[in-house]
Amino acid sequence: MTTLMEVKYTVPPLRSDLLQRPGLSEKMNRELQSDGRFTRKLTLISAPAGYGKTTAALQWLQALDSCTAWVSLDEGDNDGRVFWSYVVRALSEVHGGVGKKSADYLQAETTQLAGMAGGPTDYRNFLKRLVNEMASLPKPAILVLDDYHVIEERDIHDGISYLLQHLPPTVHVVLVTRVDPPVGLSRLRGRGEILEVRAADLRLDARAVRQLVCRMTGYDVRDDELAELLKSTRGWITGLQLFALSASQSDDISQLIHNLAGQNRYILEYLLDEVLAHQPPEVRDFLLQTSPLNRFTPSLCDHVTKSSRGLDMLMRLQRQNLFVVKLDEAGRWYRYHPLFGQLLRHQLAKERPREVGRILCRAADWYRQKGMVPAAVDAFIDAEAFGQAADVLQEEVEKLWYQGREKQLLRWFDALSEESIMAHRRLCIFYCTVLLVNAARSSEAEHYLTAAERFTSDNYEKEAEPGSFLRLTGAEMEGLTRALRAQLAAFSGDAEGFLAAADGIMNYFRARRSNWRPLAATLAAEASEWQGDVRKCDRLFRLALEDGRELKDPIFCLLVANRMAFMKLRDAKLTEVLQLCSDQLEFAEETGFAGTSRAGTLWSLQGEIHRERNELECAAECIQKGIDMAEEGPPTAAAWNLIWRLRLLLSCRRLQEMEDLLGYVREHMMGLAAWIDRKVIDLRVRLAICRGDHAAAERLLTPFMKMDEPIGPWYDETHLNIVRLLLAQDRVLGAVQRLESLEDYFSERGSTRGRLQATILRSVALHRLDRADAASVQLRAALQLGEAEGFVRSFLQEGEEVHALLLKCKDRGICSCYVQKLLDEFAGETDTAAPGDEGQLAPADEITAREREILRLLSEGLSNKEIADRLFISLNTVKWHASNIYSKLGAANRTEAASIAKRLGILQD
Amino acid sequence: MIKLTVRVIGVLGPDWSDWFGGLQVRAADCGKTEISGQLEDYAAVYGVIERLRDLGMRMVEVRVEPLGCDAQKRR
């Protein structure tokens, strides 16, 4: 038995008695394929309603020796996840197994845990996989998207456009639409990759009109009548069919033609009146009563008409050509030709306005009985029976949300009345949720969250557990409400609100491993981080990771791993971060998510660890890898990669580049998240201090001068920067004072890395005050904190005074091994640059041995790729070095770099 | 608010008003119909045009006049 779902990706059966249009098929075959490969990418069938577009496509395809994957679209498919899952299903109908990998990927990429934790879905990676799978189709296939005009979602158009750009020659796309879709048509036209079938092609000519009328009525039209018919219908096939239909019931066809030509009403309405007027009352009733249904089965017709003649009626309508379209071979699902159906509906509303709602409600009941909740909700909403719509919707709202149908949910919530939503706690919760993920409307979320919070939560401890892990228990609803409150607070940077809401959240999820637990665990973990409880935080993150794996949600795991890595970085557990990243990247590899932007941020995070350990080349490579992988991901991922890159540039003293990149980030990435904005300000402060622009640094820091205010984990750097500025301004006492309170601040908040840096700064400050003993006590404490994990940069970045202090330590034989390592790194550092001396050194001094090597190969004319191969390093590393070289030499390109190097004698050893 | 006036080929009766979200539907000269009225915003304008599209109607004239603050913004 065909389900309503399957009808969507079934090629509709073609009536055998239709007018054949060989000319049209011939045109569509032109330059379509050679040697079993498609030579053009797209056939666009674009014409207004009623021009026989679908039939033309079907007739053409029937004669073609290619498999057809067919998707019939409707308004509800305006959601990337839904849309693409239909495309994949249709393709797999053609050839089993095709699209399997992409489908799995799509499923994981769009699960709601991932969605909730990481913002908008990224379809590019899915499409890349789909293209690969399409390329391996054993036999060429044609993908038809019928009624494409219902698609409004920008994401989907972009996806189709991308697909068309990268389409392998094994697949051809056909778009059947009433409007020209924004999918890069002009580019396709320019390259001759498209064939367009438009209204002019679809219009019937004199011969075809004569044939049509003759076949349906047996009447041979005279030439003058033919001219009149062509003039009044303009070759419009639906008009002509309606005409033939009323003609078949008339004795005087000639008169009919004459009347048609003589009237000036909207032709379709006129013809429909004619046709309906000739129908017996039971047929007329049936047509009108079933007209509000988009698709119907005989049984559904019986249910709404309260009769049992559905099947007979449908057969009869089919026989008479009354615009009933069979949707599957088995003859289970039907629909009216869209234009005809719309007119019938208009007629019904005109004649019996009250009946429309009643019919829709009856249909909704039927859908509900059959377990078709979305269809039931649609029908109740169309009938404006909002209370009933809300009742049905709340039965499956969790499932729909979890399946990623958030856009559909949003449409329903928007359509429902306020009152009907407010009657259900579940609906309030999920309205709030879908508003929150929808960046443009997140401000509306508060209203529904407040409503959800108003529900009392008594007695849920006694309640029975629902059948599925997906259905929320009362306790979980309470917990989810709090989770949402916490998220809302986090979005707006309200730390106290966040902590208050997230506190104890796990209590509500203790009873069972539901689908909601990992989400709650992540939030609770973040709350513990804010509170400085590192162990609890670690435990919760682990729980979230375990649950995420159990629920087979690799993207969610990657997101949790990213957050967990931040926590560990702050806790100065560098080795653990590297371990976590490599474990998770392995899992990502296994599940096919290794190339995604979220895996990329784990790479760049490893880069940050290498930077801290002063393995700058390796750091550069890791960060570049992250940047490359984030190209098509969400902007927050890209922002994080660039933040790590900015820090690396600072470490390398490439301040001009840092400034340029900061400019880019400020222009494109501000306002994405409070913590990103925070990091950007921190980096601007560092840059300003580095350049001695104390006034600018002070301006940026002023809002954060008060000690007790910011408590989020991302304020560590801000506090340290205030101290750095004070030291730079030689306000040493102020710095010491601040550092004393910072000690506790970092200890209480579990930031070992912050403590380490504060301790180093403290030793510098004490050194300036000539309190040599106290300074060396501090430095020794710092060495103890930093040794095990191999911290280097934290020492180097504070400059010469730390160097002097380290020399003193060495003299006294303290930590000799680690101290010696740091001193060596300092020696390497002063070889290349000194803080604040940007651009004042002769360029030759700055060029490292590796860079000189690459510069030599560059000037010999080798390409980046050839250099990479020659030196056994990655292409990105070469690019990285090359850009370093250019900026150090002040060269715009490789030619200039080579000539400057020659002039300065850098290449002569 | 926006005032919309569309002329299409073919005569539609006034009972089509509902179809076009309550806009006035009246016969114009030469077998045309004028559909006109005030709409909330541009989304509503596009909605009307989409409905015309779905009926396969041929437009011969579309006039859009922003009223009130929309008009001021335009200036």
Whether B53 and A48 lie within 8 Å, measured CB to CB: yes
Mutate to test the interface with A, among B16, B35, B53, B55 (most CBs of A within 10 A): B55
**pLDDT, tens digit (0-9, with 9 covering 90-100), for A59-74:** 999 888 788 999 999 8
Q: Is B10 on the interface with A (CB under 8 A)?
A: yes
Sign of the four-CA dihedral A528, A534, A536, A538 = positive
Whether A266 and B53 lie within 8 Å, measured CB to CB: no
**Nearest chain B residue to A262, by CA:** B31
Query: With 70 as the cut, is the pLDDT of residue A457 above it?
Result: no
Q: Which two tokens stand for residue A309?
A: 């003649």
pTM for the model stands at: 0.72
**pLDDT, tens digit (0-9, with 9 covering 90-100), for A359-388:** 999 999 999 999 899 999 999 999 999 999
Mutate to test the interface with A, among B6, B8, B17, B19 (most CBs of A within 10 A): B19
Mean pLDDT of A822-838: 66
Interface A-B: count of C-beta contacts within 8 A: 42
**Angle at CA A556, nearest 5°, toward A552 and A557?**
75
Cα A401 to Cα A364, A411, A517, B11, distances in angstroms: 21, 13, 16, 46
pLDDT > 90: percent of chain A: 40
Topology of domain A4-202 in CATH is Rossmann fold (3.40.50)
How far is Cα of residue A295 from the mean position of the Cα atoms in its chain? Answer: 31
Whether A179 and B53 lie within 8 Å, measured CB to CB: yes
Per-residue pLDDT band at A712 (split at 50, 70, 90): low
Q: Is B11 helix (H, G, I), strand (E, B) or coil?
A: strand
Whether B54 and A264 lie within 8 Å, measured CB to CB: no
Q: Is A231 on the interface with B (CB under 8 A)?
A: no
Q: Is A339 on the interface with B (CB under 8 A)?
A: yes
A321 in Cβ contact with A241 (< 8 Å)? yes
What pLDDT is stored for residue A538 in this prediction?
Answer: 93
What pLDDT is stored for residue A218 in this prediction?
Answer: 86
Mean pLDDT of A195-213: 92
Residues of A in contact with B56 (CB under 8 A): 48-51, 236, 238, 268, 339
**Nearest chain B residue to A51, by CA:** B56
Per-residue pLDDT band at A472 (split at 50, 70, 90): confident
pLDDT > 70: percent of chain A: 93
**pLDDT, tens digit (0-9, with 9 covering 90-100), for A512-552:** 777 788 888 888 888 888 778 889 999 999 999 998 888 87
Cα A493 to Cα A440, A480, A688, A726, A851, distances in angstroms: 18, 20, 25, 27, 44
Per-residue pLDDT band at A3 (split at 50, 70, 90): confident
Nearest to B19 among A48, A51, A346 (CB): A346
Q: Which residues contact A599 (CB under 8 A, 6 or more apart)?
A: A558, A584, A585, A588, A593, A629
Whether A49 and B55 lie within 8 Å, measured CB to CB: yes
**pLDDT, tens digit (0-9, with 9 covering 90-100), for A395-415:** 989 888 877 777 889 999 999
Among A548, A550, A558, CA closest to A581: A558
Q: What are phi and psi of A612, to 5 degrees?
A: -60, -35
Mutate to test the interface with A, among B6, B7, B8, B15 (most CBs of A within 10 A): B15
Q: Which helix (H) or strand (E) holds B36?
A: strand B32-39
Nearest to B10 among A51, A149, A265 (CB): A265
Q: Which residues contact A381 (CB under 8 A, 6 or more apart)?
A: A389, A412, A415, A416
Q: Which residues contact B71 (CB under 8 A, 6 or more apart)?
A: B65
Q: What are phi and psi of B37, to 5 degrees?
A: 155, 180
Q: Which residues pair with A683 in a beta bridge?
A: none
Mutate to test the interface with B, among A266, A273, A351 (most CBs of B within 10 A): A266
**pLDDT, tens digit (0-9, with 9 covering 90-100), for B22-68:** 899 998 888 899 999 999 888 889 989 988 888 888 899 999 998 87
* Residues 140 through 199 of chain A touching chain B, CB cutoff 8 Å: 149, 178-179
A19 in Cβ contact with A208 (< 8 Å)? yes
Ramachandran assignment for A692, one of left (phi > 0), alpha (psi -120 to 50 degrees), beta (any other): left
A92 in Cβ contact with A10 (< 8 Å)? no
CA A264 to chain B, closest CA, distance in angstroms equals 5
Nearest to B56 among A48, A149, A346 (CB): A48
Is CATH 1.10.10.10 what the domain over A843-904 is classified as, yes or no?
Answer: yes
Higher-confidence position of A467 and A719: A719
Whether B31 and A264 lie within 8 Å, measured CB to CB: yes
**Angle at CA A490, nearest 5°, toward A487 and A494?**
130
Whether A338 and B54 lie within 8 Å, measured CB to CB: yes
**Nearest chain B residue to A346, by CA:** B19
Q: Is B26 on the interface with A (CB under 8 A)?
A: no
CA B1 to chain A, closest CA, distance in angstroms equals 22
**Nearest chain B residue to A342, by CA:** B55
What pLDDT is stored for residue A115 in this prediction?
Answer: 53
Q: Average pLDDT of chain A?
A: 86
What pLDDT is stored for residue A439 in this prediction?
Answer: 66
**Nearest chain B residue to A50, by CA:** B56
CATH number at residue B9: 3.30.70
Higher-confidence position of A424 and A2: A424
Nearest to B10 among A149, A266, A339 (CB): A266
Identify the DSSP state of A45.
E
CA A342 to chain B, closest CA, distance in angstroms equals 8
Whether A266 and B33 lie within 8 Å, measured CB to CB: yes
Q: Is A346 on the interface with B (CB under 8 A)?
A: yes
What pLDDT is stored for residue A841 in this prediction?
Answer: 40
**Nearest chain B residue to A179, by CA:** B53
User: Where in chain A are all domains bearing CATH 3.40.50.300?
Assistant: 4-202
Instruction: Name the domain count of chain B.
Output: 1
A680 in Cβ contact with A715 (< 8 Å)? no
**pLDDT, tens digit (0-9, with 9 covering 90-100), for A115-156:** 554 445 667 778 888 898 898 888 889 999 999 999 988 889
**Nearest chain B residue to A147, by CA:** B54
What pLDDT is stored for residue A1 in this prediction?
Answer: 47
CA B25 to chain A, closest CA, distance in angstroms equals 12
| DSSP secondary structure, A560-616, as one string | HHHHHHHHHHHTT-HHHHHHHHHHHHHHHHHHT-TTSHHHHHHHHHHHHHHHHTT-H
Q: Is B57 on the interface with A (CB under 8 A)?
A: yes
Count how many Cα atoms sit within 13 Å of the Cα of residue B14 in the half-sphere of its side chain. Answer: 2
Whether B56 and A265 lie within 8 Å, measured CB to CB: no
Residues of B in contact with A238 (CB under 8 A): 56
What pLDDT is stored for residue A406 in this prediction?
Answer: 78
Q: Is B49 on the interface with A (CB under 8 A)?
A: no
**pLDDT, tens digit (0-9, with 9 covering 90-100), for A617-661:** 999 999 999 888 876 666 778 888 999 999 999 999 899 999 999
Helices A732-748 + A752-768 axis angle, to 10? 160
Q: How far apart are CA A756 and CA A293, in angstroms?
A: 69
Cα A425 to Cα A409, A452, A453, A739, distances in angstroms: 15, 5, 8, 49
Whether A178 and B54 lie within 8 Å, measured CB to CB: yes
Q: Which two tokens stand for residue A220?
A: 């041979």
What pLDDT is stored for residue A834 in this prediction?
Answer: 43
Domain residues for the domain of B57 are 2-74
Residues of A in contact with B47 (CB under 8 A): none
